[in-house]
Amino acid sequence: MDSRDPFRHNVLTSGHRACSGCGEAMAARMVTDIIGPDAIYINATGCLQVFTTHNQQSSWQAPWIHSVFANAAAVASGVEAALRARGDDTPVIVQAGDGGTFDIGLQCLSGMIERGHDVLFVCYDNEAYMNTGVQRSSSTPHAVRTTTSPPGRLSEGKHHLKKDMISIIAAHQMPYAATATVAYFPDLKAKVEKAMSIKGPRFLQVLSPCPLGWDHDAAQTIQVSRLAVETGLFPLLELEHGAVTGVMHLPQQRPVEDYFRLQGRFKHLFGSKGGIAEIRHLQALADARIQRYGLLDTTTDWNTDTASQVQRHGRGGYSLDRQEDSQ
Amino acid sequence: MSRLAFEPGSSVAYHSGDWRNQRPVFHNKWPPCGQTCPSSEDIQAWLALASDNQWEAAWRKLTERNPLPAVMGRICYHPCELGCNRKELDSAVNIHGMERYLGDLALQQGWRHRPINEQQHTQQVAVVGAGPAGLSCAYQLAMRGYPVTIFDNQSAAGGTLYSGIPDYRLAKNVLAQEIDAILALGIQLHLNIKIGVQRSAKSLQEEFGAIFLAVGAQRPRTYQGNDQSNHSVLTGVDFLRRINHGEPITLPHAVVVIGGGNTAIDAARCARRLGADVTVVCPQDPHGTQHGHSGAEEMPASFEEVLQAEAEGVHLRYRLGVRRLVRSGQHLSGLEIARIDQIHDRQGHFKPLLFEGTEEFLPAGLVIFASGQEVDWSGLESLVETHESGVMVGGDAAGKLRFAATAVGSGYQAAMSIIAYLTGIPPVYEQHEKAEVTYKDLNLPYYSPLVRHEGTVAADQSHGFNEIKTGLNDVAAKDEAARCLSCGVCFQCDNCWHFCPDAAVIKRNTDYEIDYDYCKGCGICAQECPCGHIDMEPVF
């Protein structure tokens, strides 16, 4: 076991092969460290599985299995049922990318939720098939450049819209579903902890910027993640039994161009007539989401400003069970 | 073993650090408050201690450079706050209020200065002048075990702090208590001794291993006109000295003060408190006009003081000079003023040129000249002119920037130079050799906007000489300390630790460490550091 850091478990530890600045590695480390090593992690095929288990080396310091691409939720259902039969309440966590959630994994996920398995399903949403070379997925936003939706004379990137996954999940009338992203650690932590306190199927969609696929500077992962929220393109929501019970408000709305300018995958939209029209379309999509979820209403002080604020001597970290155990 | 044929195991065997082409480095930087502080206080450091409720440690950190915090917190013109990066977010940290709070707290709690080490030296040092520079130098030397004797020609210690600053800005008992705390380090103080009169400069040189001359700039620049009569004419320095020594003064109805510096404003406000109708004739332009006409020059007095003076009913007239005093026999009936063309001549000497045809008559029963002071070297000529080694000059006597905080800073430097001279070891200035942090290096969205706390200013300003401004209370002081952005200095917010995708930032009890075995050099930690503490360095 690697125990270099006295203040967290590092369930996903160093030496993994994720690209420099990987948002998914960051998100997975945050989520798994909040949950801790006493859980069973089931990983669908995808970037996370590939870069953490390379050449017989594992970055996982917790029980971890790799399922095939489509069936992570089904494997988790079986693990959970077996634990339940033994009277064991070890938490079961699924980790999957947007491919293993939105596309090939959707059927198993839907079944797992419908059967009411006590599993937390975490989707690290990087909006394309990054592992295999940036092909479009049903999570890829409209007008984005990927290797299978190249912009050109006949196209301004992906034709179709991003699948509204959280609404599909919420339509299952399940106990808890939420969206989060890496930029707001206190928000992510609150959502993971809330999910872990609830029994039954739970779902968390964590937007995880990909410097390679989104074509942004490796150092800008957090800014990109923050701008996705601040523009209204990726609302941070909590849904309980289908109803929206919490949103992170925006003190002010940022124009979508601010988000696009940092990323090469939107670069083609600037400068062409069709591209400008697509930007207007994406702005309208952001506006609609802001209106739908009331992101600009200020019913609480919980907004993107307060969630960013740092404090002297830390703003909250991970529980230190391991340290207490060893003493 | 080849990299592609590992035993099954943990990925920590694979050092992803060799991917990087740049690496993050933690650098403590020098925040602009400390950079602009004339006493070179490490303001960020003592604010950090204060916000952690370590009040005594904060006071000790502050007094490393400035042994007069209660005094300076009241009277310093606080350039630190002009430098404070927080003004880009909401408003500057109330640094002078915090300094005053810590100084007052130390007096209230009776905290004593503790010498830096047990060392006792035998070489005696003489300090001429018990003003801020002299006190600061004596304090630094005494803290390091040198026996120090201070000589001063006034009847009380403090120099200009005593004789030049009116009670409504600085209560005499605050000054006396802070001086007592300094003297308690074992410093000898001989008052009412003017070198050259009661003691010769030569005897000083024979007795002491080193001498620090901090005699201040006490000799007022006199009126250069034809009128040589002293009747109904005073200098600002003398006027303030008499008031501060408690001499009773009766003023005529109309008083005119000539000058645009703090002495002029102090004199005007004192005269106003004594019931006179006061007009300040200022050769310079008002605040905020430095980009007006060519040759514009802003008045040197503190803006805050000017505003308070105006609120108290002092009239201010700008860019005017005195042509002549108008008398009926000995009796002063007023003065003739005119618009100023230029204030200084080409050599930079104060030599106002007036525009012909712009004269006007200003009635006055007393005129107070406060247009600058000069150094009075009488009695010390032999020390100054021979450039004797072991003789240092500091404070107002040495510099052009004649502020109390500059004098305190100069006292520290003189002490370091004297130690270097006495020991033969080159001076060790504890200077930060660090980059400055501008607000552009900061990540302002990570900080919450917080309201600045102010001390209250008394409403009945034109009555009496009681202190008009009160300090911060305990709650306000704690909140104010927490407003510091900690520019360039880590305050353990955990951002780098949370955001590292490679778990290559390791949290320790009081800081962080970068594990370069795994850091891929993405730069997220440097980008997301709120205070600009992390730099990326190229790796070749």
ipTM: 0.94
> Which pLDDT belongs to residue B205?
87
Chain A neighbors of B6, CB-CB under 8 A: 55-57
CA distance A82 to chain B (A): 27
Residue B464: which region, alpha, beta or left (left: phi > 0; alpha: psi -120 to 50)? left
Tens of pLDDT, residues B151-196:
999 999 999 999 999 999 999 999 999 999 999 999 999 999 998 8
> Smallest Cβ distance to B527: which of A1, A219, A308?
A219
**Option in A22, A30, A311 nearest B493 (CB):** A311
Domains of chain A: 23-309 (3.40.50.970)
Where b means 16+ CB within 10 Å and e means fewer, B337-375 reads: bbebeebeeeeeeeebebeeeeeeebebbbbbbbbbbeb
Residue B23 belongs to domain with CATH number:
3.30.70.20
Confidence of residue A33 (pLDDT cuts 50, 70, 90): very high
pLDDT at B314 over 60: yes
Tell me which residue has tokens 């503190």.
B302
* B207 and B146 within one domain: yes
Nearest chain B alpha carbon to A30: B498
Rounded average pLDDT over B304-314: 90
The answer to whether residue B7 neighbours chain A at the CB level (below 8 Å) is yes
Same domain, B418 and B500: no
Residues B231 and B354 in one domain: yes
Q: Is B235 in the same domain as B149? A: no
Average pLDDT, rounded, for chain B:
89
Strands (E), B152-205: 188-190
Residue B54 near chain A (CB below 8 Å): no
A17 → chain B, closest CA residue: B16
Nearest CA in chain B to A54: B11
How much is the pLDDT for B435?
73
CA distance B73 to B520: 47
Together in a domain, B266 and B356: yes
pLDDT in tens, B481-517: 999 999 999 999 999 999 999 999 999 988 999 999 9
Q: Name chain B contacts of A17, Cβ cutoff 8 Å.
A: 11, 14, 16
Predicted TM-score (pTM) of the model is 0.89
pLDDT greater than 90 at residue B229: no
pLDDT for residue A251: 92
Find the domain containing B316 and state its range: 222-371
For residue B522, the distance in angstroms to the closest alpha carbon of chain A comes to 5
Q: Quick one: pLDDT band at residue B4, thresholds 50, 70, 90?
A: low
Using the Cβ of B499 and the Cβ atoms of chain A, whether some distance falls under 8 Å is answered with yes
Query: What distance in Å separates the CA atoms of residue B480 and residue B458, rounded to the nearest whole number?
Result: 21
Average pLDDT over residues B315-329: 91
**Planar angle of CA B179, B180, B182, nearest 5 degrees:** 65
Q: For position B431, what pLDDT does the model report?
A: 58
For helices B172-183 and B132-143, the axis angle rounded to 10 degrees is 30
Q: Under an 8 A CB cutoff, do B10 and A13 touch?
A: yes
- Yes or no, beta carbons of B526 and A8 under 8 Å apart: no
Is residue B85 included in any domain, yes or no? Answer: no
| Structure confidence at residue A256 (pLDDT) | 97
Least confident of B73-87, B270-284, B453-467: B453-467
Please report residues of A whose CB lies closer than 8 A to that of B445.
Answer: 305, 308
Residue B448, burial from CB neighbour count under 10 angstroms (0-12, 13-18, 19+): middle
| Contact assignment for A58 to B448 by CB distance below 8 Å | no
* Cα of A187 to nearest chain B Cα, Å: 13
Give the range among A255-259, B98-102, B115-119 with minimum mean pLDDT.
B115-119
Q: A70-99: per-residue pLDDT in tens?
A: 999 999 999 999 999 999 999 999 999 999
pLDDT of res. A327: 35
What is the band of B115 on the pLDDT scale with cuts at 50, 70, 90?
A: very high
B503 in A contact zone (CB under 8 Å): yes
Query: Residue B59 — left, alpha, or beta (φ > 0 → left; ψ -120 to 50 → alpha)?
Result: alpha
- Hey, which residues 92-151 in chain A have their CB within 8 Å of chain B? none
Residue among B495, B501, B507 minimizing CB distance to A21? B501
A24, closest residue in chain B (CA to CA): B501
Which chain A residues have a beta carbon less than 8 Å from that of B11?
Answer: 13-17, 52, 54, 57-59
Q: Is the pLDDT reported for residue B524 higher than 90?
A: yes
Among partner residues A8, A57, A315, which is closest to B11 by beta-carbon distance? Answer: A57
pLDDT at B430: 59
For chain B, say whether A3 makes contact (Cβ under 8 Å): no
Q: Is the pLDDT of residue B71 over 80?
A: yes
Assess whether B406 and B508 both reside in one domain: no
Q: What pLDDT is attached to residue B110?
A: 95
Q: What is the pLDDT of residues A212-236, one digit of tens each?
A: 999 999 999 999 999 999 999 999 9
Chain A nearest CA to B527, separation (Å): 6
Per-residue pLDDT at B434: 66
Interval B21-52: pLDDT, tens: 999 999 988 899 998 999 999 999 999 999 99
Is the pLDDT higher at A221 or at B390?
A221
Q: Do B501 and A22 touch (CB under 8 A)?
A: yes
* Boundary-marking domain end, from B327, B350, B371: B371
- The SS3 assignment for B507 reads strand
Q: Looking at the complex, does the CB of residue A309 fall below 8 Å from at least one CB of chain B?
A: yes
- pLDDT exceeds 50 at position A323: no
Residues B385 and B519 in one domain: no
Does the residue B464 lie in any domain?
no
For the segment B410-414, the average pLDDT, to the nearest whole number, is: 93
| B228 has a pLDDT exceeding 70 | no
Cβ partners under 8 Å of residue B290, min gap 6:
B296, B297, B298
CB of B513 less than 8 A from some CB of A: no
* pLDDT tens string A267-321: 999 988 899 999 999 999 999 999 999 999 877 788 999 999 898 887 667 876 5
B205/B303 same-domain check: no
Q: How far, rounded to the nearest angstrom, does the alpha carbon of residue B121 sit from its chain's CA centroid?
A: 30
Q: Which residue has the higher pLDDT, B496 or B304?
A: B496
In a domain, B72, yes or no: no
At which of B371, B399, B433 does a domain end? Answer: B371
pLDDT tens per residue across span B236-284:
999 999 999 989 889 999 999 999 999 999 999 999 999 999 999 999 8
Is the CA virtual torsion A130, A134, A137, A141 positive or negative? positive
Of all residues in chain A, what percent carry a pLDDT higher than 70? 97
Q: Which residue is it, tokens 């070891």?
A: B425
Instruction: Say yes or no: B148 and B214 in one domain.
Output: yes
Residue B205 lies in a domain: yes
Tell the residue number behind the tokens 């155990």, with chain if given.
Answer: A325
Give residue A325's pLDDT.
Answer: 42
Residues B307 and B232 both lie in one domain? yes
Structure tokens at B371: 């247009």
- Structural domain total, chain B: 3
Domain match, B248 and B341 both: yes
Asked if B173 and B269 sit in the same domain, the reply is: no
- B470 within a domain of the structure (yes/no): no
In the stretch 439-498 of chain B, residues with CB closer than 8 A to chain A read 445-448, 482, 486, 491-495, 497-498
Q: Is B16 contained in some domain?
A: yes
- The enclosing domain of B153 has a CATH number of 3.50.50.60
Task: With CB atoms and an 8 Å threshold, state whether B501 touches A317.
Answer: no
Domain assignment present for B394: yes
Using pLDDT thresholds of 50, 70 and 90, give the confidence band for residue A53: very high
CB B285 within 8 A of CB B396: no
**CB proximity A320 to B under 8 Å:** no
Query: In Å, how far is B37's CA from the nearest CA of chain A?
Result: 24
> How much of chain B exceeds pLDDT 70, in percent?
93
* B11, B492, B517: residue with CB nearest A312: B492
Distance from the B511 Cα atom to the nearest Cα atom in chain A, whole angstroms: 10
Q: What is the pLDDT of residue B400?
A: 64
Residue B111: inside a domain: no
Q: pLDDT band at residue B292, thresholds of 50, 70 and 90?
A: low
Instruction: Select from A7, A21, A29 the Cβ nearest to the Cβ of B522.
Output: A21
Once rounded to an integer, what is the mean pLDDT over residues B278-304?
81
Q: Where are the alpha helices (DSSP H) in A53-124?
A: 72-85, 106-114
Least confident of A58-62, A133-137, B287-291: B287-291
Point out the residue among B6, B16, B506 whose CB comes nearest to the CB of A5. Answer: B506
Query: What is the residue type of B350?
Result: F
pLDDT at B344: 79
